[in-house]
């Protein structure tokens, strides 16, 4: 903030400042810096082994970073043990006490804090209702379902109203249907309490659907922090572009830029394209990578005529799935995937048909220097 005279932003709930962590020779986190806003649900997401749990444990105080700081609501908590931090972690295993009742599990922390029994009972009732488990307080943990155990773990973590809730792959032990139900539940509870939440998952789709923002980790560094829409529509690099959904990558070179009209002229191996200028750090001669999402491309019968932003190819294969028709189109020597939603309203094509593939103007452009293997 040293550049701004007036600080208008609210203090972030969590600031991660240049965090490094190695295990032996393995450098897991290489300088992680991020700010997490009050009340948001942010997800640490990335492939298995990329350091999500390690980073979460550093926030919760269960793992010590080699260097860097964790600041909670303006206070440096880097040196504090977990129980002295205003954070609560739900472990992947839930770590519930199996022979104790649901109510005892939820009230455990309150008892440690020496709350009077009456007050504990009232709070536990409140929490049971919050997680939709009214009337189940007397059951023991080994007599409730996996989804219910997840609810109990959540209620127990929320009992003392932590400033930050830390959830490590909370849905990984549940079957697919229950995972979707519990995802909605976590989101509902988080919204209702406005509790700042860090959610960890390796599942891109889960991350996209639950988060206000995603923090994508790979190779020990943050690849991008952004809302689901930003991650999908303005990926920062090739790794992020391929992170959710399919992309057709198309290499090109910038021929010309018209800053007035906000357009770029790009040469590609298929031909020339005119596209909307999004970013200002691009200049003529730059090598770029165009991100063509299958659902943004459209197909029409090819009459061989030259049209703006249209390439000619032949249908290699197609698949009809009712709400979607998926085509593989061969242009020059490469395959491009085109998805037609609402295929009922569009032309149908079969193998070896000649087609025109039209590319929209508003596609995302990556500088090829920014490309990551
Ligand atoms: N206590 C530990 N001792 C040694 N290596 C560890 C330890 N914890 C994690 N690692 C290693 O650090 C890397 C990141 O682990 P982790 O943070 O658990 O990844 P993620 O949660 O993203 O799957 C992995 O290579 C893992 O084997
Ligand atoms: Mg993990």
Percent of the chain residues topping a pLDDT of 90: 85
**Nearest ligand to residue 44 Cα:** 1
CA gap 35, 6 in Å, rounded? 19
Regarding whether 277 and 208 lie in a shared domain, the answer is: no
Question: Which residue has tokens 């198309």?
Answer: 250
Pocket of ligand 1 contains residue 25 by CB under 6 Å: no
pLDDT in tens, 84-116: 999 999 998 889 999 999 999 999 999 999 999
Q: Decide if pLDDT at 4 tops 70.
A: no
pLDDT in tens, 262-275: 999 999 999 999 99
CA dihedral 335, 358, 240, 364 (to 10 degrees): 140
Pocket of ligand 1 contains residue 28 by CB under 6 Å: yes
Left if phi > 0, otherwise alpha if psi is -120 to 50, otherwise beta: which for 161? left
Give the tokens for residue 205: 């789709």
Q: How far is the CA of 54 from the centre of ligand 2 (A)?
A: 7
Q: What is the DSSP string of 287-304?
A: EEEEEE-GGG-EEEE--S
Is 1 a member of any domain?
no
181, 208, 236 — which closes off a domain?
A: 236
Residues 6+ apart with CB under 8 A from 81: 61
Pocket of ligand 1 contains residue 54 by CB under 6 Å: yes
Atom of ligand 1 nearest to the CA of 52: 22
* Closest Cα to atom 18 of ligand 1: 53
* CATH number of 284's domain: 2.40.50.100
Give phi and psi for 184, each to the nearest 5. -65, -40
Q: What is the pTM of this model?
A: 0.91
* Closest Cα to atom 17 of ligand 1: 51
Regarding whether 219 and 76 lie in a shared domain, the answer is: yes
pLDDT in tens, 232-268: 999 999 999 999 989 999 999 999 999 999 999 999 9
H/E stretch holding 259: none
207, 236, 265 — which closes off a domain?
A: 236
Q: Decide if pLDDT at 52 tops 90.
A: yes
Q: Name the CA radius of gyration of the chain, rounded.
A: 25
pLDDT in tens, 351-371: 999 999 999 999 999 998 644
Is 221 a member of any domain?
yes
Regarding whether 171 and 103 lie in a shared domain, the answer is: yes
């Amino acid at each position: 903030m040293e550049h701004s005279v007036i600080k208008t932003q609210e203090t972030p709930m969590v600031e991660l400042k240049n965090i490094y962590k190695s295990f032996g020779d393995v450098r897991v986190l290489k300088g992680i810096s991020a700010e997490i806003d009050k009340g948001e649900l942010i997800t640490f997401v990335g492939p298995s082994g990329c350091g999500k749990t390690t980073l979460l444990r550093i926030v919760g105080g269960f793992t010590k970073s080699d260097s860097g700081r964790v600041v909670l609501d303006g206070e440096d908590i880097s040196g504090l043990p977990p129980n002295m931090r205003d954070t609560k972690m739900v472990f992947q295993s839930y770590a519930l006490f199996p022979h104790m009742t649901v109510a005892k599990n939820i009230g455990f922390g309150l008892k440690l804090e020496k709350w009077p029994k009456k007050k504990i009972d009232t709070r536990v009732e409140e929490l049971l209702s919050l997680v939709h488990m009214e009337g189940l307080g007397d059951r023991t943990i080994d007599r409730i379902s996996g989804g219910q155990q997840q609810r109990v773990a959540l209620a127990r973590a929320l009992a003392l109203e932590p400033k930050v809730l830390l959830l490590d792959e909370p849905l990984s032990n549940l079957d697919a249907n229950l995972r979707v139900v519990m995802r909605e539940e976590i989101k509902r509870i988080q919204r209702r309490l406005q509790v700042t939440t860090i959610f960890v998952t390796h599942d891109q789709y889960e991350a996209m659907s639950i988060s206000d923002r995603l923090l994508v980790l790979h190779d020990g560094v943050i690849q991008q922090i952004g809302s689901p829409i930003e991650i999908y529509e303005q990926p920062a690099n090739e790794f992020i572009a391929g992170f959710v959904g399919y992309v057709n990558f198309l290499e090109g070179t910038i021929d010309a830029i018209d800053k007035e009209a906000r357009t770029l002229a790009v040469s590609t191996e298929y031909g020339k394209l005119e596209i909307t200028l999004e970013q200002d750090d691009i200049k003529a001669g730059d090598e770029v990578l165009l991100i063509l999402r299958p659902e943004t491309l459209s197909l029409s019968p090819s009459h061989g005529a030259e049209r703006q932003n249209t390439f000619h190819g032949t249908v290699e294969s197609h698949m009809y799935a009712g709400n979607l028709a998926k085509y593989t189109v061969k242009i020059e020597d490469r395959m491009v995937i085109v998805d037609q939603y609402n295929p009922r309203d569009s032309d149908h094509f079969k193998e070896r048909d000649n087609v025109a593939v039209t590319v929209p103007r508003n596609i995302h452009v990556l500088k090829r220097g920014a490309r990551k293997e």
